Structure 1
Amino acid sequence: MGRAQEAMETSIAPQQVAKDTVIIIKHDTVWLEKEKVEMKEKVKVKIDSTDVDQRFSRYDRRVHRYRKHWEALIPTHTKLQFAGNMGLISLGTGWDYGKRNQWETDLFFGFLPKYQSERSKITMTLKQNYMPWSVTLGKGISVEPLACGMYLNTVFGNEFWTHEPDRYPKGYYGFSSKVRIHIFLGQRITYDIPPRWRLGARAVTFFYEISTCDLYVVSAFLNKYLKPKDYLSLSFGLKTQLF
């Protein structure tokens, strides 16, 4: 504390000290700014601050940036999604960002039963979401009338390929059986959990999406007999907002 504390004690009368006291440092000078509760007027008292230096060093700033970058990698939510050409059920985590948290990036791992194939399979999906606006209904409930985006999905297994195997004539298929590109539209409803009831989540969101993929779009254009149910997929999901 040193001379700064002595200066504060000698420069401020006891009756002048009030609530809402803030110390402001500017050009090596400490200003004690307080707001009188009754008069609601601000009073500044100049204090010698030769021994007081709260400015961050270059090392402190570097450590702060280092920690901030690593903290940005901590996921902000988890998701559980049913269907959507990502597997029968998919579990993922992701990050919210943007001025209004209108952007989301998710990473999913899904389970696909074997059905008529020889074995069950694991899928992986990288998903980008965008919610243009949100409407508050009250009592902690809000609605996002439009959620849209795209995602890339792949299936693990040797029977799937990115480039056509040599056993097929060049250009026979013209697409990859391992990676699918999807687009989707949907809606969401969110409930903000009251602070006293929060355990592991701040909010929960229910959503549904209607999606299609590149292969389905091509098939719909080339085969006019196909109906929307043949090239559109309906999926449901639950998002848990961690913080």
Structure 2
Amino acid sequence: MRQLSVRTSILLGLLLLRAGGAAAQDATPVQEPHRRTVPFFLTLQIGGGAGMVALGGGVRLAGQHMEPEVLLGYVPRRFSSQPLAVFTFKTTYLPINAGLGRHWNVSPAVGGYISYTHGNTMLDSKEPGKYPGDYYWFSSKVRTGAYFAPRVSYSGVRAGAPRVAAYAELGTNDLYFWSRATNKKALSWSEILTLGFGSKVAW
């Protein structure tokens, strides 16, 4: 009887294991719905028309080829009559993203920006009593510009969007460009260019 019960127990155990395995094979695993997340990034930039130091961030759109962002820059009193705050909205376009090995990428990029400087900048055309109303034909607070910004990115162990990027930014703004265009002898091309460097961290 004891021998029969042992054999019966072993047989029942084998049947249960087989049934459990079959059920596990037939069961369809429940998959969580794929969640599309917008890749955010933070930016730290030095120079380039956005202030001596600027901090901000944005998102990557259009298949990670477009990067709209907002920066808040600062110019200390040492380089102006008073400390200045520079608000900049810029958009960078990356047409290609060439791989350099497994985790490195290089990308030429172009972009444009519009900035507003808060504080007493150059004597504005609206300041009464010092210059005629049309002395300055431009605004000393609002600038628009364009730039070329090659970058190198490192994606680390995560596939997909680069985690860290370093870039250089060479550009000019509307005032510099038109000053050169209307008076070629006064300014050289090198004098109307702005140079900046920055880093972006994405997650």
Q: TM > 0.5 between the two?
A: yes
Query: Could you tell me how far apart the structure 2 residues matched to 1:136 and 1:19 are?
Result: 41
Alignment deviations for residues 69-118 of structure 1 (CA, whole Å, 9 cap, x no partner): xx86xx700000110121111011111111x2111111111110222543
Shift of 1:165: 3.8
Query: Could you tell me how far apart the structure 2 residues matched to 1:20 and 1:127 are?
Result: 54
Query: Could you tell me how far apart the structure 1 residues matched to 2:81 and 2:124 are?
Result: 21
Shift of 1:21: 4.1
Alignment deviations for residues 114-168 of structure 1 (CA, whole Å, 9 cap, x no partner): 2254322111111111111111122200111x21111111111155688634544
Which residue number in structure 2 is paired with residue 140 of structure 1?
Answer: 103
CA contact (8 A) 2:151 2:168 kept: yes
The reply on whether 1:223 has 2:186 as its aligned counterpart is no
Query: Could you tell me how far apart the structure 1 residues matched to 2:48 and 2:121 are?
Result: 21
Identity %: 31
Aligned CA distance change for structure 1 residues 224 and 140 (closer, same or farther; 3 Å): same
Q: 2:51 aligns with which of 87, 98, 108?
A: 87
The reply on whether 1:184 has 2:147 as its aligned counterpart is yes
The reply on whether 1:22 has 2:18 as its aligned counterpart is no
Query: Could you tell me how far apart the structure 2 residues matched to 1:86 and 1:142 are?
Result: 25
Which residue number in structure 2 is paired with residue 44 of structure 1?
Answer: none
The reply on whether 1:207 has 2:170 as its aligned counterpart is no
Aligned CA distance change for structure 1 residues 133 and 162 (closer, same or farther; 3 Å): farther
TM-score normalised over the length of structure 2 = 0.75
Query: Could you tell me how far apart the structure 2 residues matched to 1:124 and 1:95 are?
Result: 17
Query: Could you tell me how far apart the structure 2 residues matched to 1:110 and 1:116 are?
Result: 13
Amino acid at match of 1:123: V
Aligned CA distance change for structure 1 residues 159 and 207 (closer, same or farther; 3 Å): closer
CA contact (8 A) 1:161 1:176 kept: no
CA contact (8 A) 2:72 2:87 kept: yes
Query: Could you tell me how far apart the structure 1 residues matched to 2:26 and 2:51 are?
Result: 57
Q: How many residues align?
A: 176
Amino acid at match of 1:138: G
Shift of 1:236: 0.6
Amino acid at match of 1:234: L
Aligned CA distance change for structure 1 residues 20 and 90 (closer, same or farther; 3 Å): farther
Query: Could you tell me how far apart the structure 2 residues matched to 1:23 and 1:138 are?
Result: 36
Aligned CA distance change for structure 1 residues 180 and 21 (closer, same or farther; 3 Å): same
CA contact (8 A) 2:147 2:172 kept: yes
What SS is found at the alignment partner of 1:19? helix
Q: 2:115 aligns with which of 153, 159, 168?
A: 153
Structure 2 unaligned blocks of 5 or more: 1-18, 31-35
TM-score normalised over the length of structure 1 = 0.64
Matches within 5 A, 1:115-134: 115=78, 117-134=80-97
Which residue number in structure 2 is paired with residue 39 of structure 1?
Answer: none
What SS is found at the alignment partner of 2:149? strand
Query: Could you tell me how far apart the structure 1 residues matched to 2:47 and 2:89 are?
Result: 15
Which residue number in structure 2 is paired with residue 6 of structure 1?
Answer: none
| Structure with the larger RCO, 1 or 2 (CA within 8 Å, 6+ apart) | 2
Structure with greater strand percent: 1
Structure 1 unaligned blocks of 5 or more: 1-12, 25-67, 196-200
